[in-house]
Amino acid sequence: MLTDKKIVITGGTGSLGKVLLRRLLSGEMGKPKKIVVFSRDEAKQHELRVDYQHRKVVTDEVIYNNFEQLLEFQIGDVRDYSAVCGVLKGADVVFNAAALKQVPACEYFPFEAVRTNVEGPNNIVRAIRDLDLKVQTVIGISTDKAAKPVNVMGMTKALQERVFLRANIDCPDTRFIVVRYGNVLASRGSVIPLFHEQINNGGPLTITSEEMTRFLLSLDDAVDLIFAAMKNASRGETYIPRVPTANIKDLALELIGERDIDVKVTGIRPGEKLHEILISEEEVLRTVERGNHYVILPILPEIVGESRPDDKRTLSEEYSSEHGILNRDDVRNLLKERQLMIGDAIKLEGEFLR
């Protein structure tokens, strides 16, 4: 599907961007002509570039002898319209993974979140529209916090979704679609690396509320969702994974195990929800089940999609992390399956590429 395509990953040095890059290089979606990693952090780009230059084998199956021709790094910011215009020249597919995603940081610096999470996507749309670029598909990476948002991060991501949805009208030759998912296990800045650090330091392990629940999926699960949308989504659709949910206290206790470590409740942080929502009650009315995913059909009448013959309407209430919570045994099994227990062989940050 992506054979001979030029691909741009904005925010390509982030946790998701690196796993997306590794999966694209594996060839499972075809062999691209060029993959451009576009981000503003030169140190992360240098680290990633050196890592790939020194690695002859990227996966067990694929050996790359033409690294310089396949993988390219460009320093730039999605906030900068001219930089976006430059990197999108000749692009066929764009994965927009650039984001400000830390909830408290976005609360304290809301306009910075607007610039990255809203102005950045709008720059992508403007470049395609104004320069008549022949981009085939743009995939926006969103979050459960965009459903019924109560924090700046969610509000700006919800606006990103609408910017890309509207773009299907302005750029009729480009397919703009969105994926929306919840907490990613072990991604940079997420709760599991924090819990590991606190446990290794002897505690206490801090949680904000004993009642808090979250959707849980791995970085590879997130990329699976992106690829499913890439293969199957129609213009203006939003793809949602069907994933387990867990109580954060249960997650903490399973990571502690038999260790003598206290759990301290610190109180909900600015902008934080007790439970996350992937599909709101309003969106349920235009949500269908397609294969292993939920799909939210577009809201604008100009691009309203039609249900396909195999689509099913199965949701009767909002899709919330408050429902279907895993028990302690299932949480333990999930952590073991993902190799996220303390003492497992993986190193959370260092193994994202492997």
Q: Domain 6-182+219-241+277-319 belongs to what architecture? A: 3-Layer(aba) Sandwich (3.40)
> Active-site residue among 145, 148, 157, 273?
145
Give the pLDDT confidence score for residue 308 in this predicted structure: 79
Give the pLDDT confidence score for residue 194 in this predicted structure: 85
The span from the CA of 94 to the CA of 90, in Å, is: 11
Q: Residue 268: which of 210, 228, 309, 187 has the closest Cα?
A: 210
Give the pLDDT confidence score for residue 69 in this predicted structure: 64
Give the pLDDT confidence score for residue 305 in this predicted structure: 65
Give the pLDDT confidence score for residue 128 in this predicted structure: 98
pLDDT tens-place values along the chain, 354 residues long: 999 999 999 999 998 999 999 999 999 999 999 999 999 999 999 888 888 877 644 443 344 443 456 889 999 999 999 999 999 999 999 999 999 988 889 999 999 999 999 999 999 999 999 999 999 999 999 999 999 999 999 999 999 999 999 999 999 999 999 999 987 876 666 778 888 889 999 989 999 999 999 998 888 999 999 999 999 999 999 999 999 999 999 999 998 988 999 999 999 888 888 999 999 999 999 999 998 999 999 999 998 766 677 888 889 999 999 999 999 999 999 888 876 655 443 344 344 333
pTM of the model: 0.88
Residue 304 Ramachandran class (φ > 0 left, ψ -120 to 50 alpha, else beta): beta
Element (H, E) at 230: helix 219-232
Q: Residue 217: which of 135, 309, 321 has the closest Cα?
A: 321
Give the pLDDT confidence score for residue 58 in this predicted structure: 47
How would DSSP label each residue in 158-224? HHHHHHHHHHHHH-TTSEEEEEEE-EETT-TTSHHHHHHHHHHTT--EEES-TT-EEEEE-HHHHHH
Q: What is each CA distance from 293 to 97, 237, 298, in whole angstroms?
A: 20, 12, 16
Give the pLDDT confidence score for residue 204 in this predicted structure: 92
145 as an active site residue: the answer is yes
Give the pLDDT confidence score for residue 221 in this predicted structure: 92
Residue 60's Cβ-side half-sphere holds a number of Cα atoms within 13 Å equal to: 0
What are the sequence ranges of the domains in the chain? 6-182+219-241+277-319
Give the pLDDT confidence score for residue 52 in this predicted structure: 80
Please check whether residue 57 is in contact with residue 32, taking contact to mean a CB–CB distance below 8 angstroms. no
Give the pLDDT confidence score for residue 309 in this predicted structure: 79
Please check whether residue 181 is in contact with residue 144, taking contact to mean a CB–CB distance below 8 angstroms. yes
